Structure 1
Amino acid sequence: MQLANPFLKVAGLSDRQIKKIEAVGKNIQLIADLSYSDIVMYCPSEAGIVAVAAVKPNTSISVRPDNIVGQVFEHPPEAITKAFTGGVRVEERYGEFNGAALTIYAIPIRDSGRVIAVITSERRSPEDWRPSEMEQMYVASADDLIEMIEAGVDVGITFPSSKEAGDGLLRVDFNGIITYATPNAVMIYRRLGVDALVGKSIYEIGLDETPILSALEDRKAVRREVTEKNMTVIKRAIPLIEKDHVKGIIAIVRDVTDVRAREQQLKIKEATIREIHHRVKNNLQTIASLLRLQSRRMETPEARQALLESVGRISSIAVVHEILSQSGSGTLDFKEIAGNITGMIQSSLVHPDKKITIMTRGAGGQIPSPMATALALVLTELVQNAVEHAFEGRDSGKIIILLERRGKTLTMAVNDDGIGLPEGFDIGKNSNLGLQIVHTLVTDELGGTWDMQSENGTKVTIKVSVEQVSQDV
């Protein structure tokens, strides 16, 4: 439920009055669920009566399928007009839905003698509906909450107050005696070892009922998650206040044992996956170290360079696994990966006597991990290629990586201010192993495009669709 705050401003309400309306708004979903009705909140505006909030019941079919939040009514239903002008609750017949008569209940919300809003409950008329005992209890509970709103009582509901399927409901009187329990509530407490709830005191059932006790004593709504007897139950307790006295409690209980168990299993799986990534990263770094040692034994520069390039490729994959081991997420920020790769190349491939600067600019956003691995290899090849060939005969230079994300398209450009491509260079004929790897990864694995341009250096531009890769992988 969202309040249409711009319309509240139009209504000329003070900040205090807006806060009061927002506080009421936190109750209306529960009222809708308990009363099997659509709840709409209206405020006055210069153009008419505006609907500032609306909720549909989770427990029955909505009689108002359209979304009316923000709509202005010059001639609203008569019950709403009467509630605004008379400041009293109004009940009237109001059309039909699926052949059944509807009744609208309009309840004024007052502040300092002024009606600042009206909430309406639209439900099937009593003569067309024969509610069960449980449904009668739900409706009675909703009416109790409505009466508190009408009386201006705020019990501080700051938690989600909807009633979902599977929730159990208890009615507890001011002495702590359970006067009613729905079948779901009975089933939840039976799993906790308590039978025959009705007539028992919450002080005697031997369970943690601090939410209900706190609501009785502090006269404020309470939500707590309680774990006992191998079960986890969310307990929400709302005090019912009448003439400044607590007359009872509405308690909603939800068994979330299975939910928490699944969450714990996911945490264990996530920790396991992170540990696997950590070990893979360590193994890759070990392989890279062995190749680096082997390169120092090579007598020919070509063999040494080939091994160092392999070290770079393996290290770039290790970078991805290192970040995955830290985040545990299936998606990664590619700018972070690019920064780690450029730092690795700067320290391992750039000769200490050369002043070659490698920078990363822009943002690539979050990308799926399989795509991150492929792009990391592509970036490594392009930067290594620039370090090796772009600055021949020079002691300094710049390599700038530009990342841009527009919608589903990720663009990565690697620019250098080096000597540029040789005259007559043809990607298809003159590509070295590194560029062949780039071509295979970009076009075949990532389904993207790439091109090379030579102007004031060399610029390689890669474009891939993030959504396409995330779906195909």
Structure 2
Amino acid sequence: MSTLRDLVEEHTNLEPADIEHLHRLAGDWQLMSDLSFADLIMWVALDDGQFLCVAQVRPTTGPTAYQDDQVGRIFGGAEVAHLAIARDQGRIWREGDPVWYGDTPARHEAIPVRRAGSDRVIAVIGRDTNLSTARTPSHLELNYLTTADDLAQMVADGSFPPYRHPGETTSAPRVGDGLIRLDGGGKVTYASPNAQSAYRRLGLTTHLVGEELSAITGRLADDPLEGGESAEALLAALRGEAPPRRELEARGATVLMRALPLMPAGTPIGALVLVRDVTEVRRRDRQLITKDATIREIHHRVKNNLQTVAALLRLQARRVGVPQARAALEESVRRVASIALVHETLSMSSDEAVDFDGIVDRVASAAKEVGAPESRVVMRRTGTFGVLPAEVATPLVMVLNELLQNAVEHAYGPGDEGTVVISAHRFRRQLHVTVADTGFGLPDGFSLEASERLGLQIVRTLATGELRGSIELRRRAEGGTEAVLVVPLSKR
């Protein structure tokens, strides 16, 4: 399915600023659709007089008029005559009899779309209402429809949608969460039941209708500064501005507020305030933050403990007189230190994932440092490992530590020059890792499965067990050895 931008750029000559305005409208028009109880369809005119549908939204408050997706369809002739009138005359079209889509009767309306500061119509919004459940509207529905008509006029004027503030999303609050309508003086003329309930949780004991919402909001807040900012946001909306969303906390409840100016034909007549009780959402957010902090602290302590173990093993190695025992203890120090690296990174992460490239670079640097003093081996990494979950990172760093140690210690003789290359890339939800050197190569008859060396046994066990992947050690055609590791990254 082509996107709005793709369709508009392919079929029209609209300017980038026009396309950006249509994008913002499509990001905020669910509000108008829900208030209208109607489908909204965005049409752009083609050179041959036909119209192309580039976006569509269905109401969550009523039945849709279209069971099929209309995006990408092109219509002409009598079917789009109302769209042509709205575009050519630059006015909202509401005349005409109901039309039928199969067994569904629908009412057509057409709203011209302008950009602020321009009189040119850049698109037309079709507002199509399913009439199959038509009845006498309730008080709530009448207020919804009245507000929807004001927003429709603002679309035609170019003053809706307002510019979005940095960091804001379009997810909440929505019409069904709670709606309040203010008159030009800031008094409540209508409050939906959900909006009234949200304010009751904040401590309001009276009805909202007839009250000055900014004064009530400022008085209810636990924090006077927060209350003053929320009250000022409501007053700004009455002046025709579009303030950022605010959260109001009182008596253990949290309510998210969004205030929108109502100014059809450029005249401020009041404001629309959407409210949502987000008390449970914020409580869970705080719990998650606490858990994340606890997990990071655990990783920090594990890292400290592992470093302590490594220090004790290093101290013991210095006291051992048997060379083989000393070498075994020093290998254990390196293995413990590589695991500590992962926990150190996790202790600074907000989730159970790590940027693995930095860990690999540190492990490679450590492997080179423990080589012979006269070693002239160069470590190099190509490609990127990316972000890996902790359950993959911990065994993978141990595997790479063993492979790099083998390359440094056994691939080259004292004073030999050489290169060890660690390459990584992702393909089809798999991580492919290769550790290649240009050294002596594998001995004749070598078999990874039959090898009794502890390091290689660790590599094989972790690669096929913990990582659920595969590992292969083989000779390179140009000389040297390469280890090929394939690790699946699908959900575990």
TM-score (norm 2): 0.88
Mark the CA change 1:113 to 1:269 in structure 2 (over 3 Å): closer, same or farther: closer
Task: Find the aligned partners of 1:71 and 1:268 in 2 and give their Cα distance.
Answer: 50
* Matches for 1:29-428 after TM superposition, within 5 Å: 29-46=30-47, 48-75=50-77, 76-91=79-94, 92-96=96-100, 99-110=103-114, 114-125=120-131, 128-154=134-160, 156-158=162-164, 160=170, 164=174, 167-194=177-204, 195-205=206-216, 206-207=219-220, 208=227, 209-220=231-242, 222-347=244-369, 349-428=370-449
Which deviations, in whole Å up to 9, do the C-alpha atoms of 1:313-352 show, x marking residues without a partner? 11111111111111132222222221121122223x2132
User: Higher strand proportion, which one?
Assistant: 1
Deviation at residue 274 of structure 1 after TM alignment:
0.6
Contact kept? 1:30, 1:162, Cα under 8 Å: no
- One-letter amino acid matched to 1:70: G
> Aligned-residue CA RMSD in angstroms?
2.6
Deviation at residue 129 of structure 1 after TM alignment:
3.1
Mark the CA change 1:240 to 1:165 in structure 2 (over 3 Å): closer, same or farther: closer
Mark the CA change 1:357 to 1:20 in structure 2 (over 3 Å): closer, same or farther: closer
Which deviations, in whole Å up to 9, do the C-alpha atoms of 1:387-438 show, x marking residues without a partner? 2222235444322111121131111111122211112222233341111111
Task: Find the aligned partners of 1:373 and 1:12 in 2 and give their Cα distance.
Answer: 54
Mark the CA change 1:41 to 1:230 in structure 2 (over 3 Å): closer, same or farther: same
Mark the CA change 1:318 to 1:9 in structure 2 (over 3 Å): closer, same or farther: same
Deviation at residue 440 of structure 1 after TM alignment:
1.1
Task: Find the aligned partners of 1:20 and 1:253 in 2 and give their Cα distance.
Answer: 25
Which deviations, in whole Å up to 9, do the C-alpha atoms of 1:37-96 show, x marking residues without a partner? 111111112353112222222323332243333333234433223323443332334544
Task: Find the aligned partners of 1:233 and 1:124 in 2 and give their Cα distance.
Answer: 33
- One-letter amino acid matched to 1:90: W
What stretches of structure 2 of length at least 5 have no aligned partner?
221-226
Deviation at residue 220 of structure 1 after TM alignment:
3.3
Contact kept? 1:176, 1:201, Cα under 8 Å: yes
Mark the CA change 1:107 to 1:155 in structure 2 (over 3 Å): closer, same or farther: closer
Contact kept? 1:317, 1:373, Cα under 8 Å: yes
- One-letter amino acid matched to 2:4: L
Deviation at residue 305 of structure 1 after TM alignment:
1.0
Task: Find the aligned partners of 2:434 and 2:481 in 1 and give their Cα distance.
Answer: 10
Deviation at residue 103 of structure 1 after TM alignment:
0.7
Contact kept? 1:409, 1:465, Cα under 8 Å: yes
Tell me the secondary structure at the aligned position of residue 136 of structure 2.
Answer: coil
Contact kept? 1:41, 1:120, Cα under 8 Å: yes
Q: Which contiguous aligned blocks of 4+ residues in structure 1 show a shift greater than 6 angstroms? A: none
Task: Find the aligned partners of 1:99 and 1:298 in 2 and give their Cα distance.
Answer: 90
Contact kept? 2:174, 2:274, Cα under 8 Å: no
- One-letter amino acid matched to 1:123: T
- One-letter amino acid matched to 1:364: F
Moved more, 177-186 or 334-343: 334-343
Deviation at residue 193 of structure 1 after TM alignment:
1.6
Mark the CA change 1:265 to 1:165 in structure 2 (over 3 Å): closer, same or farther: farther
Total equivalences in the alignment: 468
Deviation at residue 26 of structure 1 after TM alignment:
4.7
Contact kept? 2:34, 2:175, Cα under 8 Å: no
Which residue in 2 is equivalent to 1:438? Answer: 459
What stretches of structure 1 of length at least 5 have no aligned partner?
none
- One-letter amino acid matched to 1:149: V
Task: Find the aligned partners of 1:21 and 1:229 in 2 and give their Cα distance.
Answer: 41
Contact kept? 1:451, 1:460, Cα under 8 Å: yes
